[in-house]
Amino acid sequence: MILEGERARTEENPLERAAPFLQLIALLGIPAAGCLALILLVQIPRSIDSWLAPFLLTAEIGCWIALLVLLFALRACLALPSAPSGLYRNVLDFLAVARWHLSVKAALVGLILLPPIWFLRANHHWLVTMLLTMGPRALKSGDFQSGLETIAVLLQLSLTSGVPLLFILHILSRRQRTSGVLLWVLVPLLFMGTVIAVVLLVAILHQP
């Protein structure tokens, strides 16, 4: 009787049947959409004056829409009684930004905000002044475009190098024996590890 009841609920809920396929699509699609969005983010400042700019901007927006659709679809799947458990569930939770410890959320915010803040404070605050003074006309300036490109590259490097470390922090947060204090202590170490990874990545990319 119990098995028949579960089978009936599964047949009544189409999401239950589609959930395994949606989870697999999200597992592959969310990282792919995120990587493509970061690649386009760097290309847009380089092509502001080009005829490619509208197409790149449209593709960037499309990537973010796809990312959000997959994220919310994955969250809906994980809310079902038949949601997976164990390591696979932790991986899906990470991609869905679900059940994240507060320290993991703070680390992600740091990976996004710290690179542009560091760049603007390093004698590049004139970018903000130019934007406030000139408005949209600042986008026509080569110096302004170069500054935007540098910020985009820094953000790309920060997320590319930091997200794997962020995933490790998330996995540690799912372990019951891991102290919450330890997780907060690991956040500065995550930032240091990201900086080291960025330096190594840049060195590898610029090898002759």
The ranges assigned to domains in the chain are 1-99, 100-208
Tell me the pLDDT tens digit for each residue of 111-164: 999 998 888 887 667 777 777 777 777 777 777 788 888 889 999 999 999 999
pTM of the model: 0.85
The pLDDT of residue 12: 56
Choice between 28 and 135, residue whose per-residue pLDDT is larger: 28
Cα 59 to Cα 45, 69, 153: the distances in Å are 14, 15, 18
Cα 113 to Cα 83, 95, 118, 155, 194: the distances in Å are 33, 20, 9, 8, 14
Measure the CA–CA gap between 183 and 143, rounded to whole angstroms. 40
